[in-house]
Amino acid sequence: MAKEVKLLGFWTSPYVYRVEWALKLKGVDYEYLEEDIFNKSTRLLELNPIHKKVPVLVHDKKVILESHVILEYIDETWEQNPLLPKDPRERAMARFWAKYGDEKLLSAWKATWLKGEEKAKAVEESIEALEKIEEELKEKKYFEGEGIGYLDLALGWIAYWLPVMEKVGSMQLLKEEKFPAITSWISKFLSHPVIKDKLPPWDELVVYFDEKREARYNSYYPKQREN
Amino acid sequence: MSKGEVVVLDFWVSPFCMRVKIALEEKGVEYEGREEDLFGGKSELLLKSNPIYQKVPVLLHNGKPLCESTTIVSYIDEVWPSPPLLPPCAYGRAQARFWADFIDKKVFDAVGKIWRSKGKVAESAKEEFLEILKQLEGALGEKDYFGGDSFGFVDVIAIPLTSWFHAVEKFGGFKVEDECPKFSAWMKKCMQKESVAKIIPDPEKVYEFVIMMRKMQGIE
């Protein structure tokens, strides 16, 4: 029998992983379909004609797009193990920080392929963002308190993709002594039973992002003519 | 209806502030709008309430701040559930959130590309803007509102941005009514609503504001 929940994804995408983590935390059975985002299938283009991106969740023929929208849909459809808090203010704060995190994910990525002053500026911006996130986390076990939730999933890229970016970008953003709360959270997050079994292979991920970084660098700084 | 004190840190021409005010009006919530002088100097309260972005709108509910207009509108819908802005079912809500996100990502920047143009507005900027409106027409379909029979979440998120359209029409040399009649009809329908008519500023005043911005940014 065909599974009623399907997820279209790409193996390196943190946006896809946060959806998989949510489905697994809820104990929802789903079929994962790998998409080649560099050679987009008719299926993907038909399901997401506006943005042509993954993740795409298909539930009983309903199509849901955009990772944070999908997370809320999952939370509302399967009510066990709630991801978002109940209090409206806390929900608003979680949504705010998730959006902030996604902006800063892109800044950190930019820092990997920039050079000189531009790189320094992007690094500084990323560190400032981490300082704000550190303050938000403080002494909590997870972002929303005792249990893993929406904001942990949304910021999960910090635990695994940020170190990849640090490596390929030859930069250090997450100094342990400077970010004790985030460091501790990373350790808890990555050892959570659902998360630890659902992460992309490290070495391959590093190779992938290193290639992408080099390509971006070369297109942004076209080679000077040698005299 | 009262659930405490509500203050909006505001700027009259900001479509993002308009979203918050329209949502509060729809819910019949009493609030105090405090106009910020964004050019003269942001207030201490604004800088303290939104240290991350230092931008309006900020909603202060019983003194506690919330930022980012779409997040604020969702909060308003949850604290004052009647009349609802989001539909009751999870899928309807997902569709509404998707289109709100699309509007956030695309419309304001496309508007900016037109009014920030030095000299003649590039055809590509105009085309990009109209393409986005056509995509929104697709989402609207045959419905009265994005929300269906009643004014809803996506309508609140979208309608304030249209207050800037008169200005881009002038700069771009086109009319939304000619290019996207369905979208134009939806705009007119929304403007008939009391909450919207009360909050949306005179498009001529917005146009004058944009001219001033262009001078300030050395585009004229």
Question: What is the tens place of the pLDDT at every residue in B64-89?
Answer: 999 999 999 999 999 999 999 999 99
Q: Quote the pLDDT of residue B18.
A: 98
Measured in angstroms, the CA of B18 and the nearest CA of chain A are apart by 19
Cα separations (Å) of B171 from B85, B118, B121?
A: 34, 10, 7
The token duo for A211 is 């290639």
Q: pLDDT tens digits, residue range A125-138?
A: 999 999 999 999 98
A164-169: average pLDDT: 97
Question: Max Cα separation, chain B?
Answer: 51
Of how many residues is chain B composed? 220
Contact flag A72-B93 (C-beta cutoff 8 Å)? yes
Tell me which long-range contacts B204-210 makes (C-beta under 8 A, separation of at least 24): B204/B166, B205/B13, B206/B13, B206/B163, B206/B164, B206/B166, B206/B167, B207/B166, B207/B167, B207/B170, B209/B13, B210/B115, B210/B164, B210/B167, B210/B171
Q: What is the pLDDT of residue A1?
A: 47
At A168, list the tokens: 């390929």
Element (H, E) at A31: strand A31-34
- Interface mutation vs chain B, best among A48, A57, A60, A62, most B CBs within 10 Å: A62
Q: How far, in Å, CA of B32 to CA of A224, rounded?
A: 58
- Locate B144 and state its tokens: 């009265």
In this predicted complex, what is the ipTM? 0.94
CB contact under 8 A, A89 and B98: no
Q: Work out the number of other CB atoms within 10 angstroms of the CB of residue B78.
A: 17
Residue B4 is predicted with a pLDDT of 81
- Across the range A85-106, mean pLDDT stands at 96
Q: What percent of chain B has pLDDT over 70?
A: 99
pLDDT at residue number B3: 67
How much is the pLDDT for B123?
A: 86
**Amino acid residing at B174:** F
pLDDT at residue A225 above 80?
no
Task: Report the C-alpha gap between A91 and B76 in whole angstroms.
Answer: 12
- Span B147-153, average pLDDT: 96
Asked if A69 and A77 touch (Cβ cutoff 8 Å), the reply is: no
Give me the residue label for tokens 């929900």. A91
> pLDDT tens digits, residue range A10-52?
999 999 999 999 999 999 999 999 999 999 999 999 999 999 9
Residue pairs spanning A and B at CB distance below 8 A: 56
Q: Give the pLDDT band (50/70/90) at residue B109.
A: very high
What was the pLDDT predicted at A2? Answer: 55
Question: In Å, how far is A204's CA from the nearest CA of chain B?
Answer: 31
Tokens of B112: 């900016």
- Does the pLDDT value for residue B58 go beyond 50? yes
Token digits for A33?
């379909």
**Residue B170 contacts residue B133 (beta carbons within 8 Å):** no
How distant is the Cα of A96 from the closest Cα of chain B, in angstroms?
7
Q: DSSP characters for B41-86?
A: B--HHHHHH-TTT--S-EEEETTEEEESHHHHHHHHHHHS-SS-SS
Tell me the pLDDT band of B120, cut-offs 50, 70 and 90. Answer: confident
B41 contacts B175 by C-beta, under 8 angstroms: no
Please name the residue of chain B whose CA is at the shortest distance from the CA of residue A71: B94
Instruction: Please measure the distance between the N-terminal and C-terminal CA atoms of chain B and give it in whole angstroms.
Output: 48
B1 at the A interface (CB within 8 A)?
no
pLDDT class of B63 with cuts at 50, 70, 90: very high
pLDDT class for A139, splitting at 50, 70, 90? Answer: confident
Calculate the average pLDDT of chain B. Answer: 95
pLDDT the model gives residue B119: 75
Burial of residue A50 (CB within 10 Å: 0-12, 13-18, 19+) is: middle
Residues from chain A that touch B101, judged by Cβ atoms under 8 A, are 66, 68-69
Residue A227 pLDDT greater than 70, yes or no: no
Q: Tell me, what's the pLDDT at B34?
A: 97
Nearest to A104 by CA among A44, A173, A150: A173
**Residue bearing tokens 């005792």:** A146
B97 Cα to chain A: minimum distance (Å): 6
CB contact under 8 A, B68 and A69: no
Percent of chain A with pLDDT over 70: 97
Q: Give me the amino acid identity at A146.
A: E
A81 close to A151: Cβ distance less than 8 angstroms: no
Q: Which residue of A has its CA nearest to B93?
A: A73
Kindly tell me if the per-residue pLDDT of B220 is higher than 90.
Answer: no
- B71 close contact with A: CB closer than 8 A: yes
Cα gap B177→B182, rounded to integer Å = 8
Parallel/antiparallel/unpaired status of strands B32-35 and B6-10: parallel
Question: Given an 8 Å threshold on Cβ–Cβ distance, is A64 in contact with B98?
Answer: yes
Contacts of B71 in chain A (CB under 8 A): 92, 95-96, 99
Contact A66 B98 (CB under 8 A): yes
Does the pLDDT of residue A179 top 80, yes or no? Answer: yes
Confidence of residue A224 (pLDDT cuts 50, 70, 90): low
Q: What is the pLDDT of residue B1?
A: 45
Nearest by CB to residue A92, choosing from B52, B66, B135, is: B66
